[in-house]
Amino acid sequence: MMILLQFDSKTVREPVISQTTLEKKTLINIIRASVGAREGELIIEVDDSRADEIIEFIESKGVKVTKIYEKIIKDDEKCVHCGACISICPVEVFRLEYDYRVAADSERCVRCGVCVTVCPLKALELSKI
């Protein structure tokens, strides 16, 4: 499961991720990070079955946690099913259906954002959290 962590000026200086890894003996995959001097945002991926206890632990450190459900969104009004996105996505979110329409299995999306800049019809958008 993918989780958004928002750090404020205080928590941004704490080694929260390392603490979580050590304390909870779990692997954490950092998907995206933007960390500044006064605040930061991280998107991490954790094991689904342990998500709740990990979230609880991170929250106890004062970090704001949001579960990410929605990922890439394809606007079917705009999409012309050209398929330019298919070979670009690192985790094969897009595929041609039996009727040659392009379908998105957004559950797999790791929010890398590559496809958003590739679609010639601007039909792809990362959902707001």
Give contact residues for other proteins (rule: CB under 8 A).
Answer: 80-88, 92, 95-96, 99-102, 117-118, 120-122
- Supply the minimum distance, in Å, between the C-beta of residue 107 and other proteins: 19
- Supply the minimum distance, in Å, between the C-beta of residue 84 and other proteins: 5
DSSP letter for each residue of the chain = -EEEEEE-TTGGGS-HHHHHHHHHT---EEEEEEE-SS-EEEEEE--GGGHHHHHHHHHHTT-EEEEE---EEE-TTT-----TTTTT-TT--EEE-TTS-EEE-GGG-----HHHHH-TT--EEEPP-
Binding residues (CB under 6 A) for ligand SF4: these are 71-72, 74, 79-85, 88-91, 93, 102, 109-115, 119, 121, 123-124
For residue 100, the partner it binds in other proteins, ligand SF4, none, with Cβ less than 5 to 8 A by kind, is other proteins
Smaller CB distance to ligand SF4: residue 36 or 90?
90
For residue 87, the partner it binds in ligand SF4, other proteins, none, with Cβ less than 5 to 8 A by kind, is other proteins
- Supply the minimum distance, in Å, between the C-beta of residue 128 and other proteins: 21
